[in-house]
């Protein structure tokens, strides 16, 4: 069972695009350019010398973007 939360945590959600050379021309025809989301916690950009947790939302097999 998956729990979906409607309220968002504070921070910043970025959408990046990755071009995978490994997936280019793959036999399954999966897209080689994929979008991934990265969540950065509050204060991430203001503190250069501090470490923070970062969440990467990677889409798996046959996925092309954050549609889940």
Model pLDDT for residues 1-27, shown as the tens digit of each residue: 555 554 566 888 888 888 989 889 989
Q: Has residue 57 got a pLDDT over 80? A: no
CA distance 26 to 4: 32
Query: Which pLDDT value is given to residue 29?
Result: 86
Higher-confidence position of 62 and 10: 10
CA–CA distance, 37 with 66 (Å, rounded to integer): 7
Phi-psi region of 38 (alpha: psi -120 to 50; beta: other; left: phi over 0): beta
Quick one: pLDDT at residue 44? 86
Count CA atoms closer than 13 A to 57's CA, side-chain side: 16
Please give the structure tokens belonging to residue 40. Answer: 């950065």
> Which phi and psi angles does 34 have, rounded to 5°?
-130, 145
- 34-46 residue pLDDT tens: 888 888 888 888 8
Q: What pLDDT sits at residue 63?
A: 58
């Amino acid at each position: 069972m998956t729990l979906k939360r409607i309220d968002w945590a504070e921070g910043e959600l970025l959408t990046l695009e990755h071009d995978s050379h490994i997936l280019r021309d793959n036999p399954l025809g999966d897209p080689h350019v994929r979008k991934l989301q990265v969540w950065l916690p509050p204060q991430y950009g203001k503190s250069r010398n501090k470490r923070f947790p970062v969440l990467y939302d990677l889409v798996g097999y046959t996925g092309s973007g954050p549609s889940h």
